[in-house]
Amino acid sequence: MADKEGISAFLNTAQMAKLDRLTLNSRYVVEGTLAGRHRSAQKGASTEFADHRSYMPGDDLKRIDWKVLGRTDKYYIRRYQDETNLRVYLLVDRSGSMNYSSDPTRPTKYSYACTLAAAIGYVVLKARDSIGMYIYGEKMDAALPCKNSFNELNNSLKILQGFKPSKGTNGADVMHQIAESINRRAMVVIISDLLDNQDELIKAIAHFRKNLHDVIVFHVMDPAELTLDLKRGAEFEDLETGERLVADPRSMAKEYKDIIGEFIDKYRKACAEMKADYRLIKTDDQVDVFVRAYLEERKRLSR
C-alpha cells in the first residue's frame, strides 16, 4: 500500500478519495513506455510486475500473458511497476510574491501551490505515471528526479514544505535551464503567480513547447490581487524588493482591475497560441474541487 505520510500534510483522506480515480492525460506524443492512455514515442520494459490490462490493437505481442489467455481465453498485457506512460515535472515558484495572503484565514500563494503540487502528484502516481519536481525563486533551489514512487513524492513534498518564499525572482532564466535539462518529451506543470517579466516568462513557456513538452500553467493568485477590494488606505510592500508605498486602493481600484485583466489576458492568449494549457486559480478555491473539475474538463476536451 502506498505510503501517503508526506501527502497527508497537504491533503486529508476525503480529498484524496475525490482524486483517486482521476487521470492527467497528455494531449501530445510523450516518451513513455506503455501504450494506453498516452501515445508513446518510445517502447521499453522493466522487471517488476505490477498488473494486467486488456490487449489493445498495436500492443507488442511479446507482452501478452499467455498463461492468463489459457485460463480466461482473453488477451491481457503484462505491466510493470517501473514503467510509466508519462513523466510529469512540477515547477513550483517560491519567489517573494508567493508569500502573499490578503486574509490570515487563507493560505499564502506558496502554501496553496504546495497543496496543488501534492494533489497533482497524487493523481499522477495513482495512474502509475512518474512525477518530478523543480523548486525555484531567484535560482534553481531543488531539482528532484522523475520517479514512479509515493515514497519519492513524499520526500519531494517534505523538501518543498521546508522551503519558504525567497526575496527575489528570476523565473524565466530558471525555466530556460529546466527546459534544457529535460531531455525527453514530457508534461511540464508550472505553478506560479507569474509576477515577473511577463514577456520573458512567455518566452520561457514557449521554450518548453518548442521542445515538444505538453505544458500546463496554473496561475495562482490571491482574490484581493484580482480586485484590489480593500476598504481603506494602506501601506503596500513589494515582497521581492522590500519597496513600500502608501496608497488608497479605493481610488485606483478600477484602473488596477483593467491592468490586472490585461496582465492575465496576455498570459491566456499567449498560452492559447502556443497550445499550452492555462488556468487561473484563486487561493480561496478548494484544491481538490479545482483539480477534479480541471481534469474532467481536460479529459472531455481531449476526446
The predicted-structure confidence for 272-299, as pLDDT tens digits, reads as follows 999 999 999 999 999 999 999 999 998 8
Dist. CA 211–CA 178, nearest whole Å:
11
Which segment of 10-14, 20-24, 115-119, 237-241 scores lowest on mean pLDDT? Answer: 237-241
Give residue 3's pLDDT.
Answer: 43
Q: What is the DSSP letter of 30?
A: B
Give residue 33's pLDDT.
Answer: 42
pLDDT tens digits along 217-265: 999 999 989 987 665 555 555 555 556 655 556 556 677 788 899 999 9
Q: From 25, 41, 43, 24, select the one nearest 33 (Cα to Cα).
A: 43
pLDDT tens digits along 122-161: 999 998 899 999 999 989 999 999 999 999 999 999 999 9
- The domain defined by 87-302 folds into Rossmann fold (3.40.50)
Cα→Cα distances 249→228, 236, 237, 239, 241, Å: 6, 10, 13, 18, 20
Q: Please calculate the CA angle 271-118-1 and round it to the nearest 5 degrees.
A: 135
Give residue 16's pLDDT.
Answer: 94
Give residue 164's pLDDT.
Answer: 92
**DSSP percent split of the chain into helix, strand, coil, nearest 5:** 40, 20, 35
What percentage of the chain exceeds 70 in pLDDT?
A: 78
Quick one: how far is CA 298 from the chain centroid? Answer: 14
Give residue 189's pLDDT.
Answer: 98
Give residue 32's pLDDT.
Answer: 52
Residue 60, helix vs strand vs coil: coil
Per-domain boundaries in the chain: 49-80, 87-302
Which pairs from 56-65 meet CB under 8 Å and 24+ separation?
59/35
What is the average pLDDT score of the chain? 84
* pLDDT over 70 (residue 83): no
* pLDDT over 80 (residue 70): yes
Identify whether the C-beta of residue 278 lies closer than 8 Å to the C-beta of residue 219. Answer: yes
Kindly indicate the confidence band of residue 34, based on its pLDDT and cuts at 50, 70 and 90. Answer: very low
Dist. CA 241–CA 201, nearest whole Å:
19
Element spanning 126, H or E: helix 109-126
Identify whether the C-beta of residue 282 lies closer than 8 Å to the C-beta of residue 229. Answer: no
pLDDT tens digits along 181-212: 998 889 999 999 999 999 999 999 999 999 99
Give residue 152's pLDDT.
Answer: 92
Q: What is the DSSP letter of 64?
A: B
